[in-house]
């Protein structure tokens, strides 16, 4: 392994445009030993292998066949599903996967109404001036997951605040954990209270169904796993879609000729896939993978027990898999992107992501076909992409 000029590739990634850094890494040092002792992978084939080969690459949960507990690099996230191995991971995923999909399907008409309700004030504001799209980008997925779980809408600000503190902690950069840990404790306390309420008075929401599943068969879904599932649905459940929507809106305005893909549902899915490939909303998996034995990736031997981070945003721009990867081209075979991970931990919310992103972007195009930037958008750097502001106006084009 050589160096790439900066021993701190990750600090570069967190401070500015990551794609030139990824390109250099992929070409010169595809297995990069980071100063914390973690390995960063930037080639598609290496990332995919690590995500898919579960026997060889474990999550850091410490519940694998060896029973060995691995120190979690981001303890705040040590309880969520993506950090777990079988049998704990299998129990958690089995308990929630089918129920989650059913609730999303059932709530589709509600989601459609919510989307229109949130669009209305934006359309109104844009009659007289500019608006920032980030508020809508956050509100739609946040209100959706809160509704699916049956959380009280008045708790929106609390949930937003806690998630904002928890999210930046989840990545290989150390030292950001304290605020995240406190917020995670508060979120868990809040959810414990909600679980107690549903035990007394169940509703027809997803959380009530999961609480019932736990009560009926605690071996299939123990209490701490129930809480972890719920926590994960919130933490994994909306900042990423918000980032995807923000990026989608910016790309729609930047490439009006390609926004025509949004005119029909099939094209919209291709558009969303290309948004997710072009600028992966989450650049790293929430948890690293740990090789169970020494492995060789791109000619480099990684010892057993090391932390390995597939850099999804880098894999998605690998020219060996995507031709002219730095171009935004909906309609290419972009569905092979790794933005949802892969293998056993493949994103549980992927279908909800396609649903929400294509619904909102399609309606924006229909209701506000002349949407244009009022000022340059402000990119967010780090593990979570998207934008911190997307000021828009009508009719400038
Ligand atoms: C654009 C939006 C989203 C992106 C880019 C995204 C990305 C990811 C990625 C990369 C993983 C894989 C983690 C790994 O392999 O370690 C993952 C897992 C997961 N995602 Fe998403 N996600 C998104 C939205 C959602 C939503 C809306 C939900 C649910 C409401 C969700 C729930 C989960 C859960 C529960 C897991 C863990 C699955 C497991 O470990 O079995 N995600 N997501």
Mutational pocket test of ligand 1: of 205, 285, 347, the residue with most ligand atoms within 8 Å of the beta carbon: 347
- Domain presence at residue 212: yes
- Domain presence at residue 2: no
Report how far residue 309's alpha carbon sits from residue 41's, in angstroms, rounded to the nearest whole number.
6
Nearest CA to ligand 1 atom 12: 341
- Domain presence at residue 3: no
Rounded to the nearest angstrom, the gap between the alpha carbon of residue 255 and the centroid of all alpha carbons in its chain is 24
Buried b (16+ CB within 10 A) or exposed e, 372-392: ebbeebebbebbbbbbebbbb
The pLDDT value recorded for residue 60 is 86
Q: Is the Cβ atom of 338 under 6 angstroms away from ligand 1? A: no
DSSP H helical segments within the chain, as ranges?
9-15, 18-28, 44-52, 88-106, 108-128, 134-149, 156-166, 177-200, 206-216, 223-235, 239-254, 265-278, 312-315, 350-367
Report how far residue 221's alpha carbon sits from residue 211's, in angstroms, rounded to the nearest whole number.
9
- Domain presence at residue 250: yes
Instruction: Please identify, by atom number, the ligand 1 atom nearest to the C-alpha of residue 356.
Output: 27
- CATH number, residue 285: 1.10.630.10
CA 317 / ligand 1 centre spacing (Å): 20
Are 140 and 356 in contact by the 8 Å Cβ rule? The answer is yes
Nearest CA to ligand 1 atom 13: 285
Mutational pocket test of ligand 1: of 89, 286, 313, 349, the residue with most ligand atoms within 8 Å of the beta carbon: 349
Pairing state between β 308-310 and 39-41: parallel
Nearest CA to ligand 1 atom 38: 345
CA 129 / ligand 1 centre spacing (Å): 36
Domain span holding position 123:
9-394
Q: Is the Cβ atom of 93 under 6 angstroms away from ligand 1? A: yes
Report how far residue 125's alpha carbon sits from residue 320's, in angstroms, rounded to the nearest whole number.
45
In order along the chain (397 residues), what is the average pLDDT of each group of 10 residues?
44 74 94 87 97 93 49 60 90 94 96 98 95 96 96 95 74 57 89 95 96 94 91 88 97 96 96 97 89 96 94 96 96 89 95 97 96 94 88 82
CA 293 / ligand 1 centre spacing (Å): 27
- Domain presence at residue 1: no
The count of structural domains within the chain is 1
- The closest of 286, 243, 262, 268 to 385, measured between CA atoms, is 243
CA 237 / ligand 1 centre spacing (Å): 7
87 upstream amide cis, omega within 30 of 0 = yes
Report how far residue 2's alpha carbon sits from residue 25's, in angstroms, rounded to the nearest whole number.
10
Q: What are phi and psi of 388, to 5 degrees?
A: -90, -20
- Domain presence at residue 31: yes
Instruction: Please identify, by atom number, the ligand 1 atom nearest to the C-alpha of residue 145.
Output: 30
The pLDDT value recorded for residue 396 is 56
Nearest CA to ligand 1 atom 39: 345
Dihedral sign for Cα atoms in the order 308, 312, 314, 316: positive
Q: Is the Cβ atom of 277 under 6 angstroms away from ligand 1? A: no
DSSP state of 72: P
Nearest CA to ligand 1 atom 40: 82
Are 80 and 231 in contact by the 8 Å Cβ rule? The answer is yes
Report how far residue 4's alpha carbon sits from residue 60's, in angstroms, rounded to the nearest whole number.
28
CA 236 / ligand 1 centre spacing (Å): 6
Report how far residue 294's alpha carbon sits from residue 304's, in angstroms, rounded to the nearest whole number.
5
Q: Is the Cβ atom of 170 under 6 angstroms away from ligand 1? A: no
Q: Is the Cβ atom of 230 under 6 angstroms away from ligand 1? A: no
Q: Is the Cβ atom of 41 under 6 angstroms away from ligand 1? A: no
The pLDDT value recorded for residue 335 is 75
Nearest CA to ligand 1 atom 9: 340
Nearest CA to ligand 1 atom 42: 349
pTM to 2 decimals?
Answer: 0.93
Nearest CA to ligand 1 atom 11: 347
Residue 389's DSSP bridge partners are 378
- Domain presence at residue 4: no
User: How many beta carbons lie within 10 A of that of residue 85, not counting itself?
Assistant: 21
Instruction: Please identify, by atom number, the ligand 1 atom nearest to the C-alpha of residue 357.
Output: 1
CA 174 / ligand 1 centre spacing (Å): 21
């Amino acid at each position: 392994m050589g160096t790439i000029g900066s021993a701190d590739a990750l600090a570069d990634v967190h401070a500015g445009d990551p794609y030139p850094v990824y390109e250099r890494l992929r070409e010169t040092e595809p297995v990069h030993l980071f100063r914390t002792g973690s390995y960063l992978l930037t080639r598609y084939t290496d990332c995919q292998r690590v995500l898919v080969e579960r026997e060889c690459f474990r999550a850091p949960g410490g519940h694998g066949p060896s029973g060995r507990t691995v120190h979690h690099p981001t303890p705040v996230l040590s309880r969520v599903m993506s950090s777990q191995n079988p049998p704990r991971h299998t129990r958690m995923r089995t308990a929630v996967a089918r129920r989650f999909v059913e609730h999303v399907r059932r709530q589709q008409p509600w989601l459609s109404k919510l989307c229109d309700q949130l669009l209305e004030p934006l359309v109104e504001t844009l009659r007289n001036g500019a608006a920032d799209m980030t508020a809508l980008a956050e509100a739609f997925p946040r209100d959706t997951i809160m509704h699916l779980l049956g959380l009280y809408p008045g708790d929106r600000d609390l949930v937003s605040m806690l998630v904002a503190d928890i999210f930046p902690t989840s990545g290989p950069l150390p030292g950001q954990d304290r605020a995240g840990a406190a917020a995670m404790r508060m979120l868990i306390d809040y959810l414990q209270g909600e679980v107690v309420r549903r035990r007394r008075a169940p509703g027809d929401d997803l959380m009530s169904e999961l609480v019932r599943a736990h009560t009926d068969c605690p071996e299939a879904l123990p209490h701490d796993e129930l809480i972890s599932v719920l926590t994960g649905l919130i933490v994994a459940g909306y900042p990423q879609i918000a980032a995807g929507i923000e990026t989608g809106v910016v790309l729609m305005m930047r490439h009006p000729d390609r926004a025509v893909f949004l005119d029909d549902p099939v094209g919209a899915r291709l558009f969303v896939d290309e948004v997710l490939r072009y600028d992966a909303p989450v650049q790293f998996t929430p948890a690293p993978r740990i090789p169970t034995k020494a492995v060789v990736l791109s000619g480099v031997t990684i010892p057993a027990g090391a932390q390995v981070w597939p850099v999804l945003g880098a894999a998605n721009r690998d020219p060996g898999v995507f031709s002219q990867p730095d171009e935004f081209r909906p309609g290419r075979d972009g569905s092979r992107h790794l933005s949802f991970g892969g293998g056993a931990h493949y994103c549980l919310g992927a279908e909800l992501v396609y649903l929400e992103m294509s619904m909102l972007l399609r309606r924006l195009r229909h209701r506000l076909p002349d949407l244009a930037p009022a000022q340059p958008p402000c990119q967010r750097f780090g593990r979570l992409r998207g934008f911190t502001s997307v000021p828009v106006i009508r009719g400038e084009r």
